[in-house]
Chain A
Amino acid sequence: MKWTNVDLQKYDQAKEYIDTVIVPLAPFQIGALEASAKNADQYDVLTLFARELEKELMGRVMLTPIYTYITTADKAEEAARINKWTSHFKEQPFKQVLYISFDPTWRKMANDLEGEFIWLPSISLKDADPAAVKGMIRDQTMQTAELVKSFW
């Protein structure tokens, strides 16, 4: 399920079956061109990837809007805010809260997060042909879906 009107109606009917929230985490900035452009690229890939993952596991997961933060932000502060999201979800009740991100800096903070952090090796959309990108995203989706299943 996604955070859309249609899916929320479905969620309301089937709350007992949907016990997992997936929160994508993405850094952003508008500054130095190369770094900013890279963040923007990763944001796109994460959006695409999160949607594919949701499609695969639709009946048991709720995909939230992307949690964005300034690239240089203090991670401890962000972690506290993410935990607020998490406790909000757990009120529903959702049993599992999973964060997915290409940003490896969360790795160090993973212990401070109340949900499970899944780091994904990033894929670059640049100079790859669309078919190859599709294949890579498909591969990574299937592998991540397996990982998500291991939490169930």
Chain B
Amino acid sequence: MSDEKRDISRRQFLNYTLTGVGGFMAAGMLISPVRMAIDPVLKSNEGGDFANVGLEVSEITSEPQRVDWSIDQVDGWYESEVNRSAWVYRNENDEIVAFSPVCKHLGCVVSWEGNDDYPEEYFCPCHDGRYYKNGVNVPGTPPLQPLDVYEQEERDGMLFLGNIKPHEEA
């Protein structure tokens, strides 16, 4: 055996092998955190949060009407159906507005003209909370914030409602 052929010493060979194996291990450990870090980018979001509430846009008038629908909510591996409802109407600027019926006081369900003494207002039966037609709370009644609003869009003439966000005219 000539010495020229042994251009890699035993020590070098072991070094290379260990570095290589170490590199693979590091890569293996890093790959899942990296995947998680960029996960939101990989997730497809095609507006899947919007749900058809079964109301034609042409049927929406200036008189608020209640719509009920249900969505599938996935909580970990537990999937359940959640009921939602909204009060939908067309405001003076001809825009469609969908209010969440959940009272901002303690979470009861409000209804449009729910009390004969307060026409043209939303009424909460629990503690007489009231809201004007534009969702703003009537001062002096328990709720301190206006009703929340659903994100909404129109698809093929049907009303689709999405996430709940705070009222803008707060």
Contacts from A to B (Cβ < 8 Å): 10, 14, 17-18, 52, 55-60, 134, 138, 145, 149, 152
CB closest residue in chain A, given B101: A56
Other than the known A58-B107, A59-B126, A134-B83, what 18 A-B pairs have Cβ atoms closer than 8 Å? A10-B106, A14-B106, A17-B106, A17-B127, A18-B106, A52-B83, A58-B109, A58-B126, A59-B103, A59-B105, A59-B107, A59-B108, A59-B127, A60-B106, A60-B126, A60-B127, A149-B125, A152-B125
Q: How far is the CA of A149 from the CA of B126 in the complex (A)?
A: 8
Some 22 contacts from A to B, beta carbons below 8 A apart, are A10-B106, A17-B106, A17-B126, A17-B142, A52-B83, A55-B109, A57-B108, A57-B125, A58-B106, A58-B107, A58-B108, A59-B105, A59-B106, A59-B108, A59-B124, A59-B126, A59-B127, A60-B108, A134-B70, A134-B83, A145-B125, A152-B125
Q: Tell me if B68 counts as interface (CB < 8 A to partner A).
A: yes
Q: In chain B between 112 and 152, which residues have their CB closer than 8 angstroms to a CB of chain A?
A: 124-127, 142
The answer to whether A138 and B126 touch (CB under 8 A), given A17-B106, A55-B109, A60-B108, is no
Q: In the complex, how many angstroms separate the beta carbon of A140 from the nearest chain B beta carbon?
A: 14
Report the separation of the CA atoms of residues A57 and B124 in the bound assembly, to the nearest whole angstrom. 9
User: Using a Cβ–Cβ cut-off of 8 Å, how many residues does chain B contribute to the interface with A?
Assistant: 14
Within 8 Å CB of A57, what residues of B? Answer: 108-109, 125-126
Tell me the dominant secondary structure on chain A's binding face: helix
A74 to B68, CA, bound (A): 42
Known: A17-B126, A60-B127. A138 touches B107 (CB 8 A): no
> CA A56 – CA B83 in complex, angstroms?
12
Please state if B106 and A56 are interface contacts (CB–CB under 8 Å): no
